[in-house]
Protein backbone atom coordinates (compact mmCIF):
# COMPACT_ATOMS: atom_id res chain seq x y z
CA UNK A 1 0.00 0.00 0.00
CA UNK A 2 1.33 3.43 -0.94
CA UNK A 3 2.11 5.88 1.81
CA UNK A 4 -0.76 8.24 2.58
CA UNK A 5 -3.47 5.94 1.19
CA UNK A 6 -6.30 4.66 3.33
CA UNK A 7 -6.79 0.92 3.14
CA UNK A 8 -10.14 -0.61 2.32
CA UNK A 9 -12.26 -2.24 5.01
CA UNK A 10 -10.56 -5.27 6.52
CA UNK A 11 -13.74 -7.31 6.57
CA UNK A 12 -14.58 -6.31 3.00
CA UNK A 13 -17.24 -9.00 2.84
CA UNK A 14 -20.89 -8.11 2.44
CA UNK A 15 -21.77 -10.22 5.50
CA UNK A 16 -19.26 -8.31 7.64
CA UNK A 17 -20.63 -5.00 6.40
CA UNK A 18 -24.24 -6.06 7.04
CA UNK A 19 -23.34 -7.17 10.56
CA UNK A 20 -21.55 -3.89 11.29
CA UNK A 21 -24.49 -1.98 9.84
CA UNK A 22 -27.02 -3.84 11.99
CA UNK A 23 -24.98 -3.31 15.16
CA UNK A 24 -24.46 0.37 14.33
CA UNK A 25 -28.18 0.90 13.70
CA UNK A 26 -29.02 -0.69 17.06
CA UNK A 27 -26.41 1.48 18.79
CA UNK A 28 -27.70 4.64 17.07
CA UNK A 29 -31.26 3.78 18.13
CA UNK A 30 -30.15 3.28 21.75
CA UNK A 31 -28.17 6.53 21.69
CA UNK A 32 -31.22 8.32 20.32
CA UNK A 33 -33.39 6.95 23.15
CA UNK A 34 -30.79 8.12 25.67
CA UNK A 35 -30.81 11.54 23.99
CA UNK A 36 -34.62 11.70 24.33
CA UNK A 37 -34.35 10.56 27.95
CA UNK A 38 -31.84 13.32 28.73
CA UNK A 39 -34.14 15.84 27.03
CA UNK A 40 -37.03 14.73 29.26
CA UNK A 41 -34.79 14.90 32.35
CA UNK A 42 -34.19 18.61 31.76
CA UNK A 43 -37.86 19.25 32.51
CA UNK A 44 -38.02 16.76 35.40
CA UNK A 45 -38.33 18.71 38.64
CA UNK A 46 -37.16 15.99 41.04
CA UNK A 47 -33.86 15.53 39.14
CA UNK A 48 -32.88 19.20 39.46
CA UNK A 49 -33.77 19.46 43.15
CA UNK A 50 -31.13 17.03 44.48
CA UNK A 51 -27.80 18.52 43.42
CA UNK A 52 -26.27 21.90 42.86
CA UNK A 53 -22.98 23.40 41.73
CA UNK A 54 -20.19 20.93 41.02
CA UNK A 55 -22.33 17.90 41.94
CA UNK A 56 -24.92 18.63 39.27
CA UNK A 57 -24.68 16.79 35.95
CA UNK A 58 -24.72 18.97 32.84
CA UNK A 59 -27.63 17.40 30.96
CA UNK A 60 -27.38 19.74 27.99
CA UNK A 61 -23.75 18.83 27.32
CA UNK A 62 -24.53 15.15 27.85
CA UNK A 63 -27.15 15.52 25.12
CA UNK A 64 -24.51 17.10 22.84
CA UNK A 65 -22.19 14.16 23.50
CA UNK A 66 -24.98 11.73 22.58
CA UNK A 67 -25.58 13.67 19.35
CA UNK A 68 -21.84 13.55 18.65
CA UNK A 69 -21.82 9.76 19.09
CA UNK A 70 -24.87 9.41 16.84
CA UNK A 71 -23.22 11.58 14.17
CA UNK A 72 -19.94 9.66 14.33
CA UNK A 73 -21.77 6.34 13.98
CA UNK A 74 -23.71 7.60 10.96
CA UNK A 75 -20.50 8.92 9.37
CA UNK A 76 -18.93 5.52 10.01
CA UNK A 77 -21.83 3.83 8.21
CA UNK A 78 -21.56 6.19 5.25
CA UNK A 79 -17.82 5.55 4.98
CA UNK A 80 -18.38 1.80 5.25
CA UNK A 81 -20.99 1.59 2.51
CA UNK A 82 -20.05 4.42 0.16
CA UNK A 83 -16.29 4.27 0.35
CA UNK A 84 -15.65 0.82 1.90
CA UNK A 85 -13.31 2.39 4.46
CA UNK A 86 -12.77 1.16 7.94
CA UNK A 87 -13.07 4.22 10.20
CA UNK A 88 -10.17 2.95 12.30
CA UNK A 89 -7.86 3.34 9.31
CA UNK A 90 -8.57 7.06 9.10
CA UNK A 91 -6.85 7.82 12.39
CA UNK A 92 -4.34 4.99 12.69
CA UNK A 93 -1.16 6.82 11.70
CA UNK A 94 0.74 9.96 12.50
CA UNK A 95 -0.50 13.08 14.20
CA UNK A 96 -4.10 12.12 13.43
CA UNK A 97 -3.92 9.33 15.98
CA UNK A 98 -2.58 11.69 18.67
CA UNK A 99 -5.29 14.27 17.99
CA UNK A 100 -7.91 11.52 17.94
CA UNK A 101 -6.71 10.14 21.29
CA UNK A 102 -6.79 13.58 22.90
CA UNK A 103 -10.32 14.27 21.62
CA UNK A 104 -11.53 10.86 22.80
CA UNK A 105 -9.87 11.40 26.16
CA UNK A 106 -11.61 14.75 26.70
CA UNK A 107 -15.01 13.45 25.59
CA UNK A 108 -14.77 10.32 27.75
CA UNK A 109 -13.64 12.26 30.83
CA UNK A 110 -16.60 14.59 30.45
CA UNK A 111 -19.03 11.74 29.75
CA UNK A 112 -17.87 9.61 32.68
CA UNK A 113 -17.85 12.50 35.16
CA UNK A 114 -21.36 13.63 34.20
CA UNK A 115 -22.83 10.13 34.17
CA UNK A 116 -21.33 9.57 37.61
CA UNK A 117 -22.83 12.85 38.87
CA UNK A 118 -26.19 11.89 37.39
CA UNK A 119 -26.00 8.44 38.99
CA UNK A 120 -25.16 9.85 42.43
CA UNK A 121 -27.97 12.42 42.34
CA UNK A 122 -30.70 10.41 40.59
CA UNK A 123 -33.68 9.92 42.91
CA UNK A 124 -35.04 6.34 42.85
CA UNK A 125 -38.61 7.43 43.51
CA UNK A 126 -38.87 9.95 40.67
CA UNK A 127 -41.20 8.73 37.92
CA UNK A 128 -39.72 10.81 35.12
CA UNK A 129 -36.16 9.71 35.97
CA UNK A 130 -36.65 5.97 36.43
CA UNK A 131 -36.79 4.74 32.83
CA UNK A 132 -34.84 2.08 30.96
CA UNK A 133 -32.61 4.48 28.92
CA UNK A 134 -30.95 5.53 32.17
CA UNK A 135 -29.44 2.05 32.48
CA UNK A 136 -28.05 2.23 28.96
CA UNK A 137 -26.56 5.61 29.89
CA UNK A 138 -24.94 4.00 32.95
CA UNK A 139 -23.58 1.16 30.80
CA UNK A 140 -22.29 3.73 28.31
CA UNK A 141 -20.54 5.57 31.14
CA UNK A 142 -19.03 2.33 32.45
CA UNK A 143 -17.74 1.34 29.00
CA UNK A 144 -16.41 4.87 28.49
CA UNK A 145 -14.54 4.64 31.79
CA UNK A 146 -12.89 1.40 30.64
CA UNK A 147 -12.02 2.98 27.29
CA UNK A 148 -10.75 6.05 29.13
CA UNK A 149 -8.39 3.85 31.08
CA UNK A 150 -7.22 2.17 27.85
CA UNK A 151 -6.66 5.51 26.10
CA UNK A 152 -4.81 6.94 29.10
CA UNK A 153 -2.70 3.77 29.31
CA UNK A 154 -1.93 4.02 25.58
CA UNK A 155 -0.82 7.63 25.97
CA UNK A 156 1.40 6.79 28.96
CA UNK A 157 2.99 3.82 27.16
CA UNK A 158 3.53 5.99 24.07
CA UNK A 159 5.21 8.71 26.12
CA UNK A 160 7.42 6.16 27.84
CA UNK A 161 8.35 4.79 24.41
CA UNK A 162 9.25 8.26 23.17
CA UNK A 163 11.35 8.92 26.24
CA UNK A 164 13.14 5.59 25.86
CA UNK A 165 13.82 6.28 22.18
CA UNK A 166 15.16 9.75 22.92
CA UNK A 167 17.46 8.37 25.62
CA UNK A 168 19.02 5.90 23.15
CA UNK A 169 20.06 8.70 20.79
Determine, yes or no, domain membership for 8: no
Segment 95-122 shows an average pLDDT of 81
φ/ψ of residue 8, rounded to 5: -70, 170
Determine, yes or no, domain membership for 144: yes
What residues make up the domain containing 31? Answer: 14-168
pLDDT digits 0-9 by tens, 109-153: 888 998 898 888 887 788 888 888 989 999 999 998 998 888 788
Determine, yes or no, domain membership for 117: yes
Determine, yes or no, domain membership for 79: yes
Determine, yes or no, domain membership for 160: yes
Count of domains forming the chain? 1
Determine, yes or no, domain membership for 5: no
pLDDT digits 0-9 by tens, 30-40: 999 999 999 98
Report d(CA 36, CA 17) in Å as an integer.
Answer: 28
CA 72, distance to chain mean position in Å, is 9
Close Cβ partners of 32 (under 8 Å, ≥ 6 residues apart)? 66, 70
pLDDT digits 0-9 by tens, 63-91: 999 999 898 888 878 877 776 655 555 55
Determine, yes or no, domain membership for 156: yes
Tell me which residue of 10, 7, 70 sits closest to 36, measured CA to CA.
70
Determine, yes or no, domain membership for 6: no
Amino acid sequence: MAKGKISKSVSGSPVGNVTRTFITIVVVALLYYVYLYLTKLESCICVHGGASGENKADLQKLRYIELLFITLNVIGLVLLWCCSYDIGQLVSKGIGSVIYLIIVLVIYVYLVSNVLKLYKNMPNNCECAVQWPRYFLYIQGFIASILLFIVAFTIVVGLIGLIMMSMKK
